[in-house]
Structure formats: C-alpha cells, structure tokens
Amino acid sequence: MSQYRVAVDAGGTFTDVFVFNEQTNEIEVAKTPSMPENPERGVVNGVDAANVSGKDISLLSHGTTVGTNALIERKLPKTALIATKGFRDVTEIRRGTKSDLWDAYKDVAPPYIERRNRFEVNERVDYKGNVLTEIQEEEVKALAKTLKQKGIESVAICFMNAYVNGENERKVKAVLEEELDDVYVCTSSQVLPEIFEHERTSTTIINAVLGPIMSQYMGRLEDHMKTRGYKDDILVLHSGGGVMTSEMVPRLAARVASSGIAAGAIASKHIAQLCGFNNAIGLDMGGTSCDISLMYEGDLPVTKDWYIEYGYPIGFPSVEVRTIGAGGGSLARIDDGGSLRNGPESAGADPGPACYGLGGEEPTNTDANLILGRLNDKLLDGQLTLEREAAVKSVQSICENFGFNEYEAANAILKVANANMSDALRLISVQKGYDPRDFALVAFGGAGALQSAYLAKELEIPSVIVPKYPGVSAALGCLLVDVRHDITQTFVANLDDIKDDELEEKYIEMEKEAIGLLEKEKIKSENMTLIRHLEMRYSGQWRSLEVTINRPLDSLDQAVAKFHQEHERAYAFSDIDKSIEIYGLRVEAVGSVSKPQLPKEEPQGTLEDALKEYRDVYFEESNGIVQTPIYNRADVPVDSRINGPAVVEQLDSTVVIPPEFQAYIDKYKNIIISLVK
C-alpha cells in the first residue's frame, strides 16, 4: 500500500522535498539544485533524491515557480486579447501609476500582449447585464482567421461589464474553440467576474499567457511521475493558500503565479501554533529572495492587491506575503555614490555565490557567512563544498573601498542585508497596525536561521522559532494545505438598502459554483467547508475591508461591528455613525484533506554528545573572533538549552545563536531563540 505523503517546493535555487511516512510517522527530507530550464526534471530529481518510489506515494503536493519565472522572464506563448470595441488599450493605460513615484525615468514594464495582437469586436452589455449589442458570429470567424495566420497560441477575452453578464464572452469563446485547434481560450467572466476593467483584464491576460505553460508543465511532470509508478493527481499550491489538482491548473493558471510563496506562510502558521504562538511573522529566506508573511490571532491575512510585475495586478485572493531580493545568493556591491548595497540582484543557482567555485565573482550573503565562520565549508552532508578563498577574493573591492579587513567587509554585507529585511518586516507589521513585540518570528529557508536573531533584536521581537527542518519548511507547507477555491462577485449597494434574504440568495448561488469546483476535485461532501466573506467600506471610500459573516446569514450586525473594529486597527479610526456600503462578496470553498501530525520526541543523550567541534566565528558584538561550539542538530536533545554564541548545523540549514542569546529545544525539536535579559 502507498504510505508516503510527499511535498516538493521547487524554488529558484534549490528544490526541497519533505517526505512523511504515514505508517511510522517518520520524516525524511532532501534538497537538490533546481533546474530552471527544465523545472519538472528538478521536481523529479528531488523525489528521486528522497529515495521514494512513485507507487509508494499516497499524495504528491508541490509549489512551483514556473508561472512566476515565466512572467518575469517574459518567456510566454504568443497571446491575443479580444476586447470590446474601444477598449483594447486598457492593459497599457493601466492606472497611470508608477512603482517609484519620484523616478520620472523608470517606466512600467511593457504589457504582456503587444498592441498588434490586441483586437476589438462589436458588443455591448450595460451595467445591469442587459445585452445591448449581440456578438456577430461572422465577425468572430473572420477574427479567428487572423489569429490563425498570426500563429496565436492563447486568447484572453475581456468585455466591458462581462462581470455582470458573460454571455457575449461565452459566444466568442465557443466560436474560437471551434475555429482554432489547440489554442487556449479564457474569458474574464470565467476567470474573475469583478468590476474594475484594468484589474479584470490584467488577471485574464495573465491567466491566458500562463495557461499553455502550466498545462504543458503539468503534463510533462505527470508523465515523469507515471513512469515512476505514481498514478494519482498531483496537487499544486496556489496563491490563496490552498491546492488544486492538475486538471484545474490550466483553467485558473493565474492562481499559481505565486505558487511557492504561499507555502512558507502556511508552514510558518502551523509551526508557530505548535509552539503556542497565535501571532507570528514568517521569514522564509532562501537562495534568491526573502518572503515575509504574518499571522494574527491564528489567521493569515488575504489580499487582492498583488502582482508579479508592477502595473499588472492579479485579482485572485492571495495570502499576503512581502517579497524582497534578500537571499543567500543576493549580491553585494558598491553603488555610484560609494555606498554598500545588498540585492535585489542574485547570483541564483548558476553560477551561484563566489564560494561555489562555478564562476561567480561578486560577493553574496553566503560568501559573507562563510568568511565569518558561521557557515561550514561543506553543506548538504558534504554534497556541496564551499571555497573560502574564493569568498575572500570576492570582497576585496569592498575591503579596499572602506578600509575593511575581510571580516569587517563580510559583517558589513550582512548588516545591510539585515537592514533591508528589517524594513520589510516593518512594512508587513508596523505599517499594517501590528506591533512586532506581540509576535514570534518563525525563521526558515536555507538562510533564514543565519540572520533571524539579529532581526528579532532590531524589532524587539521576543522569540525566534527555527523549525526542525528550516531549509524545507516551505515544502512542509504544501502538505498542510487543503483544496481551496475562491468564488467572488462584485455587489455594490448601501447596507441600509439591502435585505438579508437578498444577500443570502447571492451567497447560495455562489456556493453552488463552489461546490461544483470541489466536486471536480473529487472532494466528498462531508469534507467541504464553505466560508462567507463580505467586503465593506464607509460610503464615499475607495478602499474596502473584508470580514467573515455567518452562514446562513441571520443578521449583519456582527459583520458591521467587526468592520468598525478592523477599520480602527488598520487605519486608526472608525465611525459608527457613518453609513456603510457593501462592495463585494466572496465564498471560500475548502476541501479538507488529511494532514501529517508531526511527532513529539523524548530527551535522548546530552548536549555534549551533539558537540562536533569548536570553530573561529566572527561576532562584532564580541569584538571579533570567538571560539564557538558547533553542534549537530540531529543529536541535540529536546528540552536542552544552548547559550550563545553557538552554531547548530544540519543538512538543510545552519542556525546562528549570537552572543547574548539563548536557545531552547522543544518537544517537536524546534529551536526557540530569545535574547537574554
């Protein structure tokens, strides 16, 4: 019988694998280099490295950067947009904003579909959903010939007011699918039936450009796994913090544009709650980037204001994660003004940091940690050997510019990286109305545990949690999620003018669609959960806040009270006398799947048994080199305490406990680090 639940997180530098044995509760992890040019091969290599046969896998879930990389690198299929006459330039006009308000020379990235491949048809639907101008089939057939001549591979259809009535979009789609072979077609009324033309058009276009890519990727991955004996569905993590089957991925491809990012947030939430914390900030620092998430009172905030490239929003609900270019491979440099900078550029997997010896010459955070003695020169159980001489050579220009020795240069590189990450931590906490002192910091990813204690000290965060397997915690997140879909609908009306039964009818209609999606994912009715959300705002406002409401709907009083409360927290004011407007409805459809229960451990051995060696490690706060104990994490017993300075090494990560800090190892073998007062 199949007995392994396998999760894979395919990142930009490494592919992480987490294997849970359902019969013995044992856990195995593996870490292999990613293969950006052949991503499905990277996933398969990771599974192979875990020594698990496909026929023994009961569930395979994974997060992938395929969609993210395709958008960033613009390696996209030739795609066309069909819009209402007069509206083909919506995607280029956008909102007229820029990512940097003060940089007049920094342009927004060009649209994903060039103007010559954006077409118009005669159609019109009014704001109430009445069809004023019907689609002419001959016009669409003529357009189909043009698309065929151009070699179009994918088509996005987005008409004005289609969010109210998508009949004209469906007619065009039917004609195109009949006239064009092997062309992917999606409509805005199917993808995102919401008001605001730019956001809906942008999301539909991104869905169209990613549809063929994700379909082909999933097909290749399924073929590879079938040859290894795995016959079931492959689950794919999406931005909303859930998974969907490979069958659903092409239909809602835009949802996986940030597939791997949400996994870390989910893992962070689970680990923090295991340790007794209901408020936590997740710090997932890998080789290329750093993803920061937040859990408040047991919930992960969800946003609809996100994008891969500025100016092209994706309207699907997404776990709120802030990403910055700060990873182990982030490059340090001296700017034109003579200041030291760190990131967002990265050495990536190829050539990688200078110490990899693969051709990289510029210094990275990994090089800095190696110079300081915090990293061993052999990683991944000896699979990867680091060259300290190459790392030292890479920082020579910084040494010469500032008059530093190699240790001071490496320390300065990390201090700049920490400053960047501290700013990001403030943006997701302080700027949102949260006090970091009320949170724990969950540090994971291959590099997160190297820097986390210093970040906690900077923001006065009382506790840092380093999971048992920090380097593959995002992969663990892929095993902790349920099948999930979000059904949204624009609904604008003053609260005083709405009857409860009118809203109830709308929600029941949306829930029918949600149940249909879960049934396609083979979820049994007893494992389905439907959660209702209501977007509200004060009359005259532009921005809205979302609150959860009862099911069935008996009264809106509780939702109104919660709205005032959330508005006070987020914006420091509320007005109970101000009229409230309903803006949108959302049904969160969750299909529960069984999850692994992480085993507790009993104390075995002593801390001295885990001591590997003493090594020279540089700590600025100790005025230089300190003879530091190096521990093997696998041998560190639970309930033990480690006084800093110390370094704890394992296959997938390295934990630094600086001077003035102390660490406690709990029953789940999490390391909980705190500042000694």
Q: Is the pLDDT of residue 367 over 70?
A: yes
Query: What are 634-652's pLDDT values in tens digits?
Result: 999 999 999 989 999 987 7
**Among candidates 4, 70, 513, 75, which has minimal Cα distance to 259?**
70
Identify the DSSP state of 364: B
How confident is the model over 456-462, as a mean pLDDT?
A: 94
pLDDT for residue 186: 96
- With contact defined as beta carbons under 8 Å apart, do 390 and 375 qualify? no
CB environment 46-78: b (16+ within 10 A), e (fewer):
bbbbbebebebbebbbbbbbbbbebbeeeebbe
- Furthest-apart CA atoms within the chain: distance in Å: 81
Query: What are 120-140's pLDDT values in tens digits?
Result: 999 999 988 999 999 999 999
pLDDT for residue 537: 92
The number of C-alpha atoms within 13 Å of 476 and in the hemisphere containing its C-beta is 24
Residue 163 C-alpha from the chain's centroid: 27
**Which of 97-106, 235-244, 274-283 has the highest average model confidence (pLDDT)?**
274-283
Phi, psi of 351 (to 5 degrees): -85, -10
Phi, psi of 31 (to 5 degrees): -145, 125
pTM: 0.81
Stretch(es) of the chain classified as CATH 3.40.50: 78-214
C-alpha distances out from residue 601 to 91, 318, 350, 462, 667, Å: 55, 35, 39, 25, 5
- With contact defined as beta carbons under 8 Å apart, do 21 and 596 qualify? no
Going by C-beta distance under 8 Å and a sequence separation of 6 or more, which residues neighbour residue 240?
255, 262, 302, 316, 317, 318, 319, 484, 485, 486
Q: Is the pLDDT of residue 656 over 80?
A: yes
Residue 465 pLDDT class (50, 70, 90 cuts): very high
pLDDT for residue 89: 95
The residue ranking higher by pLDDT, 147 or 242, is: 147
Give the 3-state secondary structure percentages of the chain, helix then strand then coil, rounded to 5.
Answer: 35, 30, 35
How confident is the model over 321-337, as a mean pLDDT?
A: 84
Please give the structure tokens belonging to residue 243. 């998974």
Given the candidates 3.40.50, 3.30.1490, 2.60.40, 3.60.70, the CATH classification of the domain at 483-591 is 3.30.1490
pLDDT for residue 54: 84
pLDDT-above-90 percentage for the chain:
47
pLDDT for residue 665: 95
Query: What are 472-518's pLDDT values in tens digits?
Result: 888 888 888 888 888 888 888 888 888 777 888 889 999 998 898 88
Q: Is the pLDDT of residue 285 over 80?
A: yes
Query: What are 42-79's pLDDT values in tens digits?
Result: 888 888 888 888 888 888 888 888 888 888 888 899 99
- With contact defined as beta carbons under 8 Å apart, do 400 and 435 qualify? no
Q: Is the pLDDT of residue 658 over 90?
A: yes
Q: H or E element: which one contains 604?
A: none
Residue 180 pLDDT class (50, 70, 90 cuts): very high
Please give the structure tokens belonging to residue 467. 């999971």
**Which of 147-161, 363-377, 549-563, 599-613 has the highest average model confidence (pLDDT)?**
147-161
How confident is the model over 516-525, as a mean pLDDT?
A: 84
- With contact defined as beta carbons under 8 Å apart, do 140 and 172 qualify? yes
Q: Where are the beta strands (DSSP E) in 238-337?
A: 243-245, 280-285, 290-295, 302-303, 306-307, 313-314, 318-319, 321-324, 330-334
pLDDT for residue 104: 81
Q: Is the pLDDT of residue 260 over 80?
A: no
How confident is the model over 402-413, as a mean pLDDT?
A: 95
pLDDT for residue 34: 79
| CATH class of segment(s) 78-214 | alpha beta
Three-state DSSP state, 216: helix
Q: Is the pLDDT of residue 2 over 80?
A: no
Residue 147 pLDDT class (50, 70, 90 cuts): very high
Stretch(es) of the chain classified as CATH 3.30.1490: 483-591
pLDDT for residue 436: 94
Phi, psi of 540 (to 5 degrees): 95, -10
First-to-final CA distance of the chain: 53
Q: Is the pLDDT of residue 200 over 80?
A: yes
Please give the structure tokens belonging to residue 396. 């020579």
Q: Is the pLDDT of residue 1 over 60?
A: no
Residue 389 pLDDT class (50, 70, 90 cuts): very high
The CA dihedral of 610, 268, 20, 590, to the nearest 10 degrees, is 170
Q: Is the pLDDT of residue 318 over 80?
A: yes
What average pLDDT is seen over the chain? Answer: 89
Residue 349 pLDDT class (50, 70, 90 cuts): low
Query: What are 287-310's pLDDT values in tens digits?
Result: 777 889 999 988 888 888 788 889
pLDDT for residue 91: 94
pLDDT for residue 501: 79
